[in-house]
Amino acid sequence: MKNLFYGIVLLLTIYTVQSQNCYVGTSMDFALYLQNTCGIVYREDSLPKNPFQSIKDHGGNIIRLRIDLPPYSNSFVSNEPPVDYRSPAKVMEGMQAAQLAGLKTMLTISYQSFALEASESLNPYVAPLTWQSIAGDVDKLADSVYNYTFNILAEFIGSGLVPEIVSIGNETNWRILEPNVPEDDLPAYDPQRVVNLLNAGTSAVRDINQVYSLNIKIALHIFGASNLTWWMDTHVPLGLDFDIMGLSHYHAWHNLGSFGSWTQVVDWVQSHYQKDFMIMETAQLFSSGYSDNRPNVLGTENIPAGYPNPPTTETQMEYLKDLTTEILDAGGLGTIVWGGDWVGSDCYVYPDQYGPGSSFENKAFWDFTNNLHDGINWMKESCPQNFLNENHEKSFINIYPIPLYSNLVTVETRNIRIKKADFFTILGQMVAAVTINFVSPNSINIEFSHQLPSGNYILRVTDDHDHSYFYKIPVIHKQF
């Protein structure tokens, strides 16, 4: 009888034990516009640095960009450059910048015009200007939503830009794409109309996936956990199609409603409707100050009890870390902050009566001198695998031989000192029959006392700074 050995094929692949997909990042709508139009220089350690790269280098792995329909100017900015950072062409530039930095993108298609005059926006749910003439015909409107979504995505994909997630609509708690009449003159709310219009967008994404052999995930987005059960119970049974339930949560404006914790929120979404969950918008202060003349929103009432107040960068980092960790521990996908790049300036960012500047500069990840501050470190603290393994070349780990023809694996490092190593099943159960022998502070041997069943395993190597590096290791039995 031939001796049975097993080979271990080592794939140096990041594996997140906490959550299969761990998304942490921020919206980056404003960064390129502020740089190119307003002369803002983003800095890190007081030196100019690409803000997208700063997000990546501090543990982020995804940014969010939003497309709005025209017009991009109105009477508030008639003497200013077009405020067109949400046009498809400018969003494409932002997505290219993200891709060059190694970041994924969530693309929100809002189906809203960016800069309407008051006479063109008689209610908060009005259709974009070019569609207002058909807003009373849901079939024509759905066709427009489908075609617009499909064509935008096809254009992006044709340029080599594939979003990780597409969000259909933005905070669609109630009506969408309504005629331009006063709100009191709108017909009674029709949830089937909303479902039909949202599904027109999701159908376009599904068809894009089929045509291009992709797997872009679809998110829908509302605000406030207190609205969640009504919204999903009302709309999902009508045939609403999506993958991820996204939520805006700002502590000063929203509450958990009947839920006792974020864990309960995630559990409810997953158990009742088998959907993934993530926070798509949130923010926290790092200062109560300001750096321009535009009025700020979200003051210190946004800080829950127990966090430093008056706020510091620790307030921001700890709040966002705690929120995200709870979401991830419950099986959610993660958190995307809103406005992390919206530093102060003297140019118009929104064409409205509040004037130039930022309403969010005390909640950005760059301080009032546009220098990156340590509030941004919530990303690597919440989802350390993103940060640790993306810096693999800086802390090189070599695992061999490949394939393995014995029961011994050697792990060697270049720039880190190994403190310990653990071996887990894919479900996170520790493999007990493993002996770890330290050859040197930079080299260990992992010996298995018996043949492991075929399947995927996880190796965790921890350095002397308690940073952990995760690798997925398929075990494949072979006859030799």
Average pLDDT of 121-140? 97
The closest of 326, 238, 243, 216 to 282, measured between CA atoms, is 326
Q: Do strands 4-8 and 468-479 pair parallel, antiparallel, or not at all (unpaired)?
A: antiparallel
Q: Which CATH class is domain 4-13+396-479?
A: mainly beta
What's phi and psi for 120, nearest 5 deg? -100, 0
Binning pLDDT at 50, 70 and 90, where does residue 2 land? very low
CB atoms within 10 A of CB 421: 19
User: How distant is the alpha carbon of residue 69 from its chain centre?
Assistant: 22
Report residue 117 as tokens: 């005059």
* pLDDT for 91: 98
What b/e string do you get for 285-319 counting C-beta neighbours within 10 Å, with b at 16 or more? bbbeebbbebebebeeebbeeebeeebbbebbbbb
Distance CA 384, CA 279 (A): 18
* pLDDT for 400: 66
Q: Check pLDDT > 50 for residue 13.
A: no
What angle in degrees, to the nearest 10, is found between the helix axes of 313-329 and 262-273? 30
* pLDDT for 428: 57
Q: Which CATH class is domain 23-382?
A: alpha beta
* pLDDT for 437: 73
Report residue 109 as tokens: 């298609």
The closest of 65, 51, 54, 44 to 336, measured between CA atoms, is 65
Average pLDDT of 134-139? 97
Q: What is the pLDDT of residues 248-278, one digit of tens each?
A: 999 999 999 999 999 999 999 999 999 999 9
Sign of the Cα pseudo-torsion (45, 95, 61, 236, in order): positive
Per the model's pLDDT, the better-predicted residue between 138 and 458 turns out to be 138
CA triplet 455, 164, 83: central angle to 5 degrees?
Answer: 165
Distance CA 74, CA 72 (A): 7
Q: Check pLDDT > 60 for residue 427.
A: no
* pLDDT for 378: 97
* pLDDT for 402: 45
Q: Check pLDDT > 60 for residue 326.
A: yes
Q: What is the pLDDT of residues 155-213, one digit of tens each?
A: 999 988 999 999 999 999 999 999 999 999 999 999 999 999 999 999 999 999 999 99
Mean confidence (pLDDT) of the chain: 87
Question: Which residues lie across from 43 on neighbouring strands?
Answer: 48, 371
Distance CA 269, CA 435 (A): 41
Q: Where in the chain are the domains?
A: 4-13+396-479, 23-382
Q: What is the pLDDT of residues 50-106, one digit of tens each?
A: 999 999 999 999 999 999 999 999 999 999 989 999 999 999 999 999 998 889 999
Report residue 38 as tokens: 């307003």
**Residues 361, 34 contacting (CB under 8 angstroms):** no
Q: Check pLDDT > 60 for residue 392.
A: no
* Percentage above 70 pLDDT, the chain: 83
Q: pTM for this one?
A: 0.79
* pLDDT for 383: 83
Q: Which of 24-33, 254-263, 292-301, 431-440 has the lowest mean pLDDT?
A: 431-440
What one-character-per-residue DSSP string does 356-403 give?
Answer: SS-S-TTTSSB-TTSBB-GGGGHHHHH-HHHHHHHTTTTT-EEEE-SS
Question: Which residues lie across from 424 on neighbouring strands?
Answer: 430, 458
